Amino acid sequence: MAAVLPFRPAVARETTAVALNEVSIEFRARGRPPFKALAPTTLTVADNAFVAIVGPTGSGKSTILNAVAGLIKSASGSIQIFGQPLDGINREAGYLFQQDAVMPWKTALDNVALSLQVAGVDREDALGEARTWLTKVGLGRFLDRFPHELSGGQRKRVGLAQVLIRHPKILLMDEPFGPLDAQTRQIMGNLLLDLWAADRKAVLFVTHDLEEAIALSDRVLILSAGPEARLIGDHRIDLARPRDAADIRTDPRFHEIHRAIWSQLKAEVAKTYGAGEG
Amino acid sequence: MTRLKLVALQIAVGLALVALWHVGSTVPIFGRTLLPPFFFSTPADVAMRVAQMVAAGKIWPHIGITLLETALSFAIGAIGGIAFGFGFALLPTAAAVFEPYIKMANSLPRVVLAPIFMLWLGLGIWSKVALGVSLVFFIVFFNVYRGIQEVSPVILANARLMGLNEFQLFRHVYWPSALSWMFSSLHTSVGFALVGAVVGEYLGASAGLGYLIHEAEGVFDTTGVFAGMAVLAFFVLAIDFVVTALERRMLHWQPGREDART
């Protein structure tokens, strides 16, 4: 007689990394009506997908990332991380911020090693691991530099190493290459693609640069102009991988996709400016 | 400008001022001495007096006392300022309740407190230390408080996501930030510690540089007053040198410092 196997819930094989279910976000300031940044939004990010969110300025792109990171609470709806409801800081997520988030009083090496050290890893091991990661992002010769002695692009690389050393299952990136020049952005984009290809985490990548979004990701989501921003587009990017973030831009398929998405995005961008003038 | 040229110019300015003083106090112009030695003494006399005091060894105990008072004022004031700065930054309600009183206490000219401190603590070093502490405390307090509030929210969010708990946040984020603010005001707070010591000595003491100057003034010994001031000035320069060295060591991670590694 066959033994009855205990029931295993499907959750154990859950491959949805991030799920937002009717999540809305409001900002409250005293003496003013609450500002509704995000209208109820539903979206899922698969475990190994690279998803970009594109939208006009002020459309609440960063707000979504902050909610997924657990830095702000949603006004309604629920967020699930690998099937578990999110409560407080999201421990599975690594967050590369738009602004510099490295500590100016620590060297590049100490900045990268910190998350391991506070987790109880032996100091020498943590520093060794940090050295490896800084070398991977091309900063092997700059270990002992303080952030102010590095260029903007180099500081972003330190930030990337700082995030990746923890092996987060979800990578949140908020216009990480925004302030960099076009060439450096493409180099950073390729670096990111290489590192991502090694262990394909779930990535949620916010940018206002549509070309960058298409070049890097598997899916591009379009967010409408705020307030009460909504998701208004979900485009699959079927360009072959591995890709080169610079060369891919000459691919005819790239142009087709770009044209399709841009026609939709253009209207939203125009709305933002219209609202600004009105 | 090269370092050598700068130092040469700095020395030239000093020499010119001393030369003006020398001429004014010793050479009669149209039958009049512009700086009568009774009121202004002469550079030669002052230099002689300083040399005598140093040679006789009479000056060292006074410098020692003033240095001790300055160091104690700074240490106690800084520890208090750091403790209260962190306390108030972590307890916003307490900060809001105490704010008017802190402002009130800080706006009080500290000289009026000196007689009270003497009444309470006697004429020894502790009344001077108390005066210095009352000055240093507020500078350190305000800087530490500000340093904690000015921590970038992005760095804080990043640190939280990196898994730092409250104690680790304190150690790796709040503490270095507060310390950097405190060290950037180090010249001011050490200067005030010295002011507290010297003013306290001036108002009533039996030792110290302030006492020395006050004593000379009491007998209209202008040369003695100027000699005391000269010693005090060198003393301040020496302390400033030490503070600058310390500051460079502690704040080498900040941009715009001379020794920043390139």
Residue-wise pLDDT for B125-176, tens only, equals 999 999 999 999 999 999 999 889 889 999 999 999 998 998 999 999 999 9
CB < 8 Å from A in window 198-257 of B = 252-255
User: Would you kindly state where each structural domain of chain B is located, as residue ranges?
Assistant: 1-37, 41-250
**Euclidean distance between CA atoms A101 and A71, whole angstroms:** 15
User: Helices B222-250 and B186-203 meet at what angle, rounded to 10?
Assistant: 150
Q: Say which residues have a Cβ less than 8 Å from residue B137's Cβ, sequence separation at least 6.
A: B77, B80, B81, B84
CB A218 within 8 A of CB A236: yes
Q: Which tokens go with B44?
A: 């030669």
CB A72 within 8 A of CB A66: yes
CB B229 within 8 A of CB B47: no
Q: Which tokens go with B59?
A: 């000056």
Q: Which CATH class is domain A15-92+170-277?
A: alpha beta
Cα A271–chain centre separation: 25
Query: Which residue is closest to A149 within chain B, CA to CA?
Result: B262
Count Cα atoms within 13 angstroms, Cβ side, for A188. Answer: 24
**Euclidean distance between CA atoms B236 and A88, whole angstroms:** 53
Q: Are A99 and B162 a contacting pair at CB < 8 A?
A: no
Neighbours of B106 (CB within 10 A): 15
Mutate which: A90, A95, A105, vs B, most B CBs within 10 A: A105
Q: Are B162 and A93 a contacting pair at CB < 8 A?
A: no
Q: What's this model's pTM, rounded to 2 decimal places?
A: 0.79
Query: Which residue is closest to A160 within chain B, CA to CA?
Result: B158
Handedness of CA B95, B100, B105, B109 (dihedral sign): positive
Q: Say which residues have a Cβ less than 8 Å from residue B130's Cβ, sequence separation at least 6.
A: B113, B117, B120, B121
pLDDT of residue A275: 55
CB A129 within 8 A of CB A119: no
Q: Are A105 and B165 a contacting pair at CB < 8 A?
A: no
Reported as a single tens digit per residue, the pLDDT across B71-95 is 999 999 999 999 999 999 888 899 9
Burial class (CB in 10 A: 0-12, 13-18, 19+), B77: buried
pLDDT of residue A278: 38
Q: What is the CATH number of domain B41-250?
A: 1.10.3720.10
**Euclidean distance between CA atoms B186 and A14, whole angstroms:** 57
* Cross-strand pairs, A43: A20
Reported as a single tens digit per residue, the pLDDT across A209-261 is 888 899 999 999 988 877 888 888 888 998 888 888 888 888 899 999 999 88
Placement of tokens 């216009």 in the chain? A175
From A90's Cα to the closest Cα of chain B, the distance in A is: 7
**Euclidean distance between CA atoms A129 and A194, whole angstroms:** 19
Residue of A179 and A104 predicted with greater confidence: A104
Handedness of CA A80, A85, A91, A92 (dihedral sign): negative
Reported as a single tens digit per residue, the pLDDT across A151-187 is 888 998 999 999 999 999 999 999 888 778 888 888 8
Give contacts of A162 with chain B, Cβ < 8 Å. 158, 162
How does strand A170-174 pair with strand A93-96? parallel
Quickly list DSSP for B78-114.
Answer: HHHHHHHHHHHHH-HHHHHHHHHHHHHHHHS-GGGGH
**Euclidean distance between CA atoms B140 and B189, whole angstroms:** 7
Amino acid at site B126: W
Is the minimum CB–CB distance between B154 and chain A shorter than 8 Å?
A: yes
User: Would you kindly state where each structural domain of chain A is located, as residue ranges?
Assistant: 15-92+170-277, 100-167
pLDDT of residue B205: 83
Has residue A13 got a pLDDT over 80? no
Give contacts of A149 with chain B, Cβ < 8 Å. 260-262
* Cross-strand pairs, A204: A51, A172
pLDDT of residue A277: 44
**Euclidean distance between CA atoms B76 and B84, whole angstroms:** 12
Q: Please state, for a pLDDT cut of 70, what percent of chain A lies above it.
A: 92
pLDDT of residue B12: 96
Q: How confident is the model at residue B256 (pLDDT cuts 50, 70, 90)?
A: low
Neighbours of B212 (CB within 10 A): 28
> What's the whole-number mean pLDDT along residues A101-123?
93
**Euclidean distance between CA atoms B81 and B140, whole angstroms:** 5
Nearest alpha carbon to residue B90 among B171, B156, B149: B149
Placement of tokens 């300031």 in the chain? A29
Mutate which: A68, A103, A117, vs B, most B CBs within 10 A: A103
CB B37 within 8 A of CB B49: no
Q: Are B154 and A106 a contacting pair at CB < 8 A?
A: no
Q: Are A114 and B172 a contacting pair at CB < 8 A?
A: yes
Is the minimum CB–CB distance between B73 and chain A shorter than 8 Å?
A: no
Say what the ipTM of the complex is.
0.84
Amino acid at site B195: V
Q: Are B262 and A69 a contacting pair at CB < 8 A?
A: no
Q: Please state, for a pLDDT cut of 70, what percent of chain B lies above it.
A: 97
Three-class secondary structure assignment of chain A: CCCCCCCCCHHHHCCEEEEEEEEEEEECCCCCCCEEEEEEEEEEEECCCEEEEECCCCCCHHHHHHHHHCCCCCCEEEEEECCEECCCCCCCEEEECCCCCCCCCCCHHHHHHHHHHHCCCCHHHHHHHHHHHHHHCCCCCCCCCCHHHCCHHHHHHHHHHHHHCCCCCEEEEECCCCCCCHHHHHHHHHHHHHHHHHHCCEEEEEECCHHHHHHHCCEEEEECCCCCECEEEEEECCCCCCCCCCHHHHCHHHHHHHHHHHHHHHHHHHHHHHHHHC
